[in-house]
Structure formats: structure tokens, C-alpha cells
Structure 1
């Protein structure tokens, strides 16, 4: 800390600290002593050099996950009183001339179910770790840290938007139509319920039924995450951009097919990713084309 050159960019840690403090006040489970113990372990880690190298860049991701979990404990009188049910499908029809999510989700098949589940339920959760390993192995020092921070701040911005601007997903329109929504309505697995039947498990039904943030359709953080990963993959391997675009488009299709997002949600999520990436880009170290791995830098 003594050698650190402080700047106004470090105000981001003040923001994260205040956000997590509010989260810890709101959260009711686990009990307060356990929450304090977790916070104490985190603070102790800041004074251990090798641990600090991990937890400081990852702190936006931790803050995002804690904030997402804390959403379920926010008292009703502090939440927005109006939940938007019609604005997203209406905007989709105005901007694109049709409800593309409705068209895509109207024809289902077990093979399509699995093809949609792979990017939405498997690759979405595993690829960030794969990309992190690639950045650490082949990228210059510092790029993995920037990825973690960009990924975390984008998701924080997305969750706060979802919390302050609650919108219903396509599955709500299919079940309830245009009926007004309230916070007593549980989340639904949408098309992922068919995956539960295929796998013979009660996985997604229970997971989405207990979602901390039911009305978080806009922006789509599945789309935002895929776009952010595409941008960092292209930064690391410029010739891989078709793979990144193909994966993002695959995930876009899957979210609409599974009735979890409208197209406008997906576009919104990608915009969040582009904005955060272009802010982070000026801090990214330059790639050396002659370097074969991190050890070459």
C-alpha cells in the first residue's frame, strides 16, 4: 500500500466498500456473526501479498455476487413500486417489427432444447474461467486483472439497473399476459423446465423459483457476459473474433428460445459490455505478437 500511487480511479474501491456494506446490512441469512467473519477474512487477505493479488482485482465480482444475493432481502417499501410488464415487448415490436423472442420460442424440440441449454446453462458459467486461464497463460501481465474488474463492474451496473428498473421476462407474458406484476410472483424456469424433464432433475425449476431478482429482464447479463468475453477473447486472439461473435449469437438465440429475454434485453446487455470494455481498454497492456506466453513478457 505504501508504494501504491493513489488517484481518483481508486474511488471505485470506496464505491465497492459502500455497496458491500449496504449489502451486509440488508442481508438476513447467514446470521450476522457469520457475515462478519467472512468480512474479517476478506480484510485480513488484503494484508497478505499473494492473496491480495487475487482478491483486489476480483473484488468487483465478489461485490456483484453479494449484491445479487442481497436483492431478495430488500424490503418491499424500498423497491420500485411499478414493475414494467409491457414496455419491453412493446419496444421490441416497434424497433424490430415483430416479437422475435415469441417467434423463436414458438417452435420447440428436445434437440433444440439441448442446443439452447448448452450456452445458457453450461458454457455461460464455465467459459469465464476458461478465458481467465487463457488470459493468464498467453496474455501480458495485468490483462487478467482488467478482465476481472470489467466483468465485475459490468455485472454490478446490470444488477443495479435490474433492481431500479424491474421488467418482466417473456415467460411472464406467456403465463400472466399483461396482468400487473408484483414481488410475490416467483421466478419461472421458462424453457429450462424442459431440460429438467430431459435430465430427470428438479434443477432449474427450484433455482429460478428462488431467484433473488425475478424481474431482472433488462439488461441481459447473459448477453453482457458473452459480449465481454468475446471482446477480451478478440483482444487476446484477434483472429478468433468469428468464434466470439458466433458464441454471442448462439447465446442470444438460446435466451429467446428459452423465454428468458427479449431481443432488446440482449442488445442492452451488449451495450453495457461495450461501454465498460472501452473504458477498460485504455488500461489494457499491449499485446506482443512475438510473445508465445506470459513468460515471454
Structure 2
């Protein structure tokens, strides 16, 4: 495949325009989405290799779309929000006894933090999506296109499973309980919480610019931040990558788990359920979905397309 067919050109351009129009008119368009569409089109039309890479990374585009479209019908309209229950459970299971009483780990880190930890954990958290994308690109250029596709689509599937969890059990993050108490306020904006200390250190609103566009603050369970690199690490193992890459992937994964709690964005409970979502989601995808004949055939054709 050396050139883009007229049919492919029409599909990609039409889909790009329709997506941007839908975002603008219905959901709300943000600069990051325009950049995403521009980058995808550049990759698709630039060169045969970059076109194959764009198609391999397409599930990340679907992930962003599906996450943002939850604005259309927020989870807190489906089920009651858990604010106090998860807070009290976290305290009962993981509470830290201090001279000021029992604190949840997030409250403890709010009182005990330092610049080095703030900087390092901020770097870890910046890897939540770039890390998986980097692993996908690595697999692509290593020539393991089948594992690349299995990983990117498993990543999307795990996110969809997590989104279902958001609707089953809407949950406030720990920073909400700490700052606003246990009464739900649907007008509360996204909050950078402990990651604001990283922004102050670097002198640039890195995380502030991200969380200002948070589509739903009542979506802490499961912690998909904790699931993202977990899925990536699973496929590093599946595809039998080098020991060094596995160590790096594990290090980043564990760093993100810790940062989720250190920054007050997630309870330990959220992190555990996020890891479970990754493990269960990948197991269902690999042992169930991919074994459906029609889907297996689709993946074979997909792999051939990007090979």
C-alpha cells in the first residue's frame, strides 16, 4: 500500500470534519482535540509507514472521544455519588494514626510532602497516556504489529470497562471530600489537587491546563490512571520485550500508582480497583473477545493492513 485510495481519503477527511463539528456543536471543542485530529491526518497522509502507524494508534483517538462524550450524560445522573462512604472505608482500611487523629493516606501526604517527591511524582503522572502510546509505537517499529494492535485495542476496551464502572458507582475523589466535605456539588470544577505543587515547581500550568477540561470529577472508581500503564506492562510481558524495558515500564506503573494517592486524586481503593480493571479487562479481551471468529478475522486483516 503505497498511496491513499480516494475511498480512504474521503473516509478520513469526512470523519475528521464530522467529529470536529459534533464536538463544537454538541459536546464542546477544546484545542487538544483539534491537535489530535491534525496529527492523525498528518500521519495518515504523510507517508505509507506513518499511515500504518496512525491506524495502529486509532484506538487512542476512540478513547479520547468516548471519554469526552461522557459529558453528554454524566454518571451522577444515573446513580448516587459516593463521597463519604469511600472516604470512611479508606480510613478504616488504610488509615494512618497521628497525633491529630486518624488520617487517610491522601490527608497524610497533604501534610507531609516535599519538592523532590512533588517533581518526581509529577513526571510519573505525565506518563499516564504518553507511556502507553510510547509502548505502542515501540511495538510497531519493532515489527510486532499484531501485539501493537492487541495492546491498543485492549487499552480501549479496558477504558470502556472503566467507564461502565464510573456509571455503576459514581465516586468523588479524595480531594473533593477534603476540600468540600460530603455533600455533592455538580458545579465544582476540575481540581489539580496535589499536582499543583508540580506546576508551581516548573513555573507552568501543566496539570492545571489538563484538569480544567475534566469532563467529570465524580469518576474516581476505578482509577484508570492506574490501569493505563498496567495494561502497557502486561503487553510488554506478552510480547516478550527486553528485561530493561520491562523494568522501566514497571517503574513508571508503580510510580503512577503512588502518585495517584500522593496527589490526592485517588484513594488506595481506587488504585486497587483500577489495577483489577486492567487485569480483568485484558483477560476478557484476550481470552474471550479475540477468540470470537469474526473479531479474530478482523484483527488478522487489520494486522495485514498495517504490516
TM > 0.5: yes
From 73, 83, 86, the counterpart of 2:84: 86
Conservation of the 8 A alpha-carbon contact between 1:224 and 1:272: yes
In structure 1, the residue matched to 2:131 is 127
Partner Cα distance (1:230, 1:211) in 2: 26
Retained in 1: the 8 A contact 2:27–2:71? no
Aligned 1:84-123 pairs, distance under 5 A: 84-96=82-94, 98=96, 99-121=104-126, 123=127
The normalised TM-score by structure 2 is: 0.69
Q: Indicate whether 1:137 and 2:141 are aligned.
A: yes
C-alpha spacing 1:27/1:153, structure 2 compared with 1 (3 Å): farther
Q: What is aligned with 1:4?
A: none
Q: RMSD of aligned C-alpha atoms?
A: 3.4
Q: How does 1:183-194 map to 2 (within 5 A)?
A: 183-194=186-197
1:248-281, CA deviations, whole angstroms, 9 ceiling, x for partnerless residues? Answer: 2211111111110111111111111111222344
Deviation of 1:143 after TM superposition, in Å, equals 0.8
Give the structure 1 partner of residue 9 of structure 2: none
In 2, the alpha carbon distance for the partners of 1:263 and 1:26 equals 38
Does 2:175 correspond to 1:177? no
The range that moved more, 251-260 or 153-162, is 153-162
1:68 aligns to what?
67
Is this contact kept in 2: 1:217–1:261, CA < 8 A? yes
User: Secondary structure of 1:142's match?
Assistant: helix
Which residue number corresponds to residue 249 of structure 1? 254
Q: Offset at 1:116?
A: 1.0
- Give TM-score scaled by structure 1 length: 0.71
Structure 2 residue runs of 5 or longer lacking an equivalent are 1-18, 97-103, 292-306
The CA distance in 1 between the partners of 2:66 and 2:107, in whole Å, is 31
Q: Name the counterpart of 1:214.
A: 217
Q: Which residue of 2 aligns with 1:268?
A: 273
**How many residue pairs are counted as aligned between the two chains?**
248
User: How far apart, CA to CA, are the structure 2 residues paired with 1:119 and 1:75?
Assistant: 29
Counterpart-to-counterpart distance in 2, 1:24 and 1:196:
29
